[in-house]
Amino acid sequence: MKRVLTGNYAAAYGATAAKVNVVAAYPITPQTTIVEILSEIVANGELNAEFIKVESEHSALAACIGAQSAGARTYTATSSQGLALMHELIHWTARARLPIVMTNVNRALGPGWSIWADATDSVSQRDTGWMQVYCENNQEVYDTTLMAYKISEHADILLPTLVNLDAFFLSHTSQVVDMIDQDRVDAFLPTYAPEYKLDIDNPRSFGSLTSPDHYYEFSYKMHKAHEAAKQIIPEVHAQFAKEFGREYGMTESYRCDDAEYLLVTYGTIAGTTMDAVDRMRDKGIKAGALKIRYFRPFPSEEVRSILKNAIKVGVIDRMISFGHEGAFFTETKAAMYGETVPLYGFIAGLGGRDVSIKDIESMVDKMQAEDPSNLIWIGVKE
């Protein structure tokens, strides 16, 4: 059934379709309406879940960890400062190998007041062991939420997923979303039945009881799970496409085959970049766009195979790792190690500053004219 939904609704309906058993949340500023919508859905009886109101974002994830350990499928949503407050438990979730799915609305961190789009919040959780996806539109938010549970819960993965969407450009923007009938969702995403859980009939201990001797191996196994995910994610995407007709990849390339100037980016800027590519093509510039969906695990081989034939590559980051450059730029460069294609790093749209088609065209102008020595900031008012 098609409906016009904001990104916040798309996320909440995705979690509802996934029939999550437990939702835990705290309304920190800036929280989103996602958990508010879910609390209504639970109160209406449309979703048979336990809605736990807690006293902080840290506790929200703690409650999910407890419930997920007991075998429940859990969900929470947050953004910026709230995600930062969860940090300790974000590590814990992944190391405990709990396949929790959390929505993060990408918002700027204070001070400097902005609750608008910025990916610094989620990128700051890079090394926690969570898988991370970035969505371009509200359909993708809904679909990705469903697929994220299937991927996270896969016995060879057992890792949590952070599903990211841009503040306002998705969270508060209405778009058409095709929602899937519940029986078809149920067939795609069966009830969560973990092999490892707190179970009085089959008792186990969990947590900090293993000795330092084992820590190294657990870390190794976690990394191996990320590597396995690189195989399993495309399989789940293929299954989703077969069932519901919508195709996704860990990356998505647009007019890349013969592209000379390739722009790499993520989130809503990716969609705008594709429209900019069409405009540049009309003017005779062979441009192309590569959208990165998965930041963790990072699809290095895929990125390299698509980019290596370009003449020049630019990476647009809506975040900055201070003292260095944008994080997606760093990853792209690492993936391109040994190739000779010049790579340009662009910073754009921090704190929700709009990134227009003209801004994107100006990046290709700069790639044509300048050497890729310095990080290039788009639209700074000097």
135 scored as a contact of other proteins (CB under 8 A): no
**Secondary structure of residue 40 in the 3-state scheme:** helix
Least distance to other proteins from the beta carbon of 266, Å?
Answer: 12
173 scored as a contact of other proteins (CB under 8 A): yes
Compare residues 113 and 322 and give the one whose CB is closer to other proteins.
113
Dist CA 161 CA 144 (whole Å): 10
Least distance to other proteins from the beta carbon of 270, Å?
Answer: 8
Closest CA to 303 of 369, 253, 344, 239: 253
Compare residues 116 and 344 and give the one whose CB is closer to other proteins.
116
Least distance to other proteins from the beta carbon of 68, Å?
Answer: 33
Compare residues 46 and 178 and give the one whose CB is closer to other proteins.
178
Distance (Å) of CA 99 to CA 93, 192, 202, 246, 297 = 8, 10, 20, 24, 15
Among 74, 80, 125, 137, binds other proteins (CB under 8 A): 137
Answer for the pair 106, 121: CB distance below 8 angstroms, yes or no.
Answer: yes
Compare residues 163 and 336 and give the one whose CB is closer to other proteins.
163
127 scored as a contact of other proteins (CB under 8 A): no
346 scored as a contact of other proteins (CB under 8 A): no
Number of residues that bind other proteins (CB under 8 A): 33
**φ, ψ for residue 287, nearest 5 deg:** -100, 160
Length of the chain, in residues: 382
Which region among 43-51, 57-65, 71-79, 264-272 touches other proteins (by CB under 8 A)? 264-272
Least distance to other proteins from the beta carbon of 119, Å?
Answer: 14
Dist CA 360 CA 289 (whole Å): 11
Answer for the pair 288, 364: CB distance below 8 angstroms, yes or no.
Answer: no
Least distance to other proteins from the beta carbon of 343, Å?
Answer: 24
Name the packing angle between helices 327-335 and 300-307 (round to 10°): 80
Q: Where are the beta strands (DSSP E) in 167-286?
A: 174-178, 251-254, 261-265
229 scored as a contact of other proteins (CB under 8 A): no
Residues 6+ apart with CB under 8 A from 223: none
Q: What is the dihedral of CA 75, 175, 121, 54, to 10 degrees?
A: -30
Residue type, 81: Q
* Contacts with other proteins, 294-333, as mask; x by CB under 8 A: ----------------------------------------
Q: Alpha-carbon torsion 173, 174, 178, 182, what sign?
A: positive
Compare residues 274 and 292 and give the one whose CB is closer to other proteins.
274
Least distance to other proteins from the beta carbon of 41, Å?
Answer: 19
Least distance to other proteins from the beta carbon of 234, Å?
Answer: 22
> Taking CB under 8 A as the criterion, which residues in 104-123 touch other proteins?
110-113, 116
Compare residues 204 and 381 and give the one whose CB is closer to other proteins.
381
Closest CA to 241 of 147, 114, 335: 147
192 scored as a contact of other proteins (CB under 8 A): no
> Taking CB under 8 A as the criterion, which residues in 348-377 touch other proteins?
352, 354-358
Binding residues for other proteins, rule: CB under 8 A, are 2, 4, 110-113, 116, 136-137, 166, 168-170, 172-176, 268-269, 271-272, 274-275, 352, 354-358, 380-382
